Amino acid sequence: MRTVFKTSYDADINLFRHRVQAGWYVLLLVVALALPFLLGTFAIGEMTNLLIWAIACMGLMVLVGQTGQASLGHAAFLAVGCYANALLQLNLGLPFIIAFPLAGLIAGVAGALIAMPMTKLHGIYLAIGTLAISILTDDFIVLAEPLTNGVNGLMPPSIEIFGVSFDRYGMPGRLYYLVLAVALAVIYLYRNMQRTPLGRSFAAVRDSEVSAQAMGVNVARTKATAFGISAGITGLAGALMGHFAGIFNNETFNIIISIQLLLAIVIGGLGSIHGAFFGAAVVALLPQGISITRDFLGQFVGGGSIAIPGLESAVFGLILILFILFEPMGIYGRWLKIRTYFELFPFYRRDMFRRQKSYLKTERMR
């Protein structure tokens, strides 16, 4: 375990705790930059997908992990971002470089506006409220057919920035770099949020609304702001998802996606950027993992390549159940434990992370 001797206030303010930590992240970035030279076209596509999911997970993490507000409806903001981005390009002829950030802004404003009447809701009431929004968005896309082309869906144009093509099929490596750049920008904003009054007011609302209020935090406005930032980031992910999928309709952003997004960040570990990436990795790589496993088993059992409906969600659900039961802190929590084990070797004790037994008190008292 490394002890940091703090000699200025900046030691607490800076992005990295110490040089060695910064070194590891630079190494990780180098690996991420080198990937297109190491992997084939298919694998790089999978990595792009993973990064897009990670952006979406970070978006939801702002709300759930930092502010403690559950949302079962974030697919709605994926949809808003995706449709806004595509329609701005298709109908108004805006270039991607303008349409994309604008789409994030539109999703963010939509999120803040929707959150305003719901800032009094807690726990399950908020969950069901956001669930309703997700379902309503799905139906609205179908009803607003003249704009959204209903169930037939839309095809966003190929991305081009200042004459350079980032086509999904033609230039998968470039698209990967573009998504990576967006992901890094979002991470930077996320870290800035965490180290400023903004993020601290989110945490205050998460842990105790009544004392946040006594500290001068406007709870309703803070929640709406968190919703806005969260929806904005999610909207950016949605816009990228649209480009990555090539074609999308209301079904692309149905309620199952909302739920999957929430489950992903729980598996990954609530409250950290790492958790968002771990969770995204599980969601994005699981389908491939299952099909590889099935092909592998098929060699022995024979005829195992028939698709079994619902298998993917079932495996996903099972993983989640196991995590909630045995590792509620998610993959990131497990990672911390393993790291501590090696740092303290051989002095790690099993009960080091054990928490006090808790008894639930009614949440009807608010």
Instruction: For the segment 6-25, give every residue that binds other proteins (CB under 8 A).
Output: 9-10, 12-13
Would you say how long the chain is, in residues?
A: 366
Residue 311 in contact with other proteins, rule: CB under 8 A: yes
Task: List the one residue from 39, 90, 171, 203 that touches other proteins (CB under 8 A).
Answer: 203
Binding other proteins by CB under 8 A: which of 308, 338, 344, 352? 308
Residue pair 167/194 in contact (Cβ under 8 Å)? The answer is: no
| Smaller CB separation from other proteins, 141 or 179 | 141
- Residue closer to other proteins by CB (options 42, 125) is 125
Return the number of the residue (155 or 193) whose C-beta is nearest other proteins.
Answer: 193
Of 10 and 38, which has the nearer Cβ to other proteins?
A: 10
Asked if omega into 346 is within 30° of 0 (cis), the reply is yes
Tell me how far apart the 2 most distant CA atoms of the chain are, in Å: 66
336 contacts other proteins (rule: CB under 8 A): no
Identify residues 83-122 at the interface with other proteins (CB under 8 A): 117-118, 120-121
Beta-ladder partners of 167: none
- H or E segment to which residue 164 belongs: strand 164-165
Closest contact distance (angstroms) between CB of 203 and other proteins is 5
C-alpha distances out from residue 44 to 32, 36, 51, 181, 252, Å: 11, 6, 11, 15, 22
Pick 38 or 365: Cβ nearer other proteins: 365
Q: Does 307 bind other proteins (CB under 8 A)?
A: no
Residues 28-87 that bind other proteins (CB under 8 A): 70
Site for other proteins in 246-305 (CB under 8 A): 255, 259, 262-263, 266, 271
> In the window 236-255, what residues touch other proteins (CB under 8 A)?
255
Nearer to other proteins, 123 or 298 (CB): 123
Q: How many residues bind to other proteins according to rule CB under 8 A?
A: 81
Q: 161: helix, coil or strand?
A: strand
CB of 118 to other proteins, least distance (A): 7
List the structure tokens of 289: 């993992």
Distance between CA atoms of residues 258 and 230, nearest Å = 14
Residue 360 DSSP SS3 = coil
Which stretches of 278-339 are assigned E, i.e. beta strand?
Answer: none
Helix (H) or strand (E) holding 303: none
297 HSE (CA, 13 A, CB side): 9
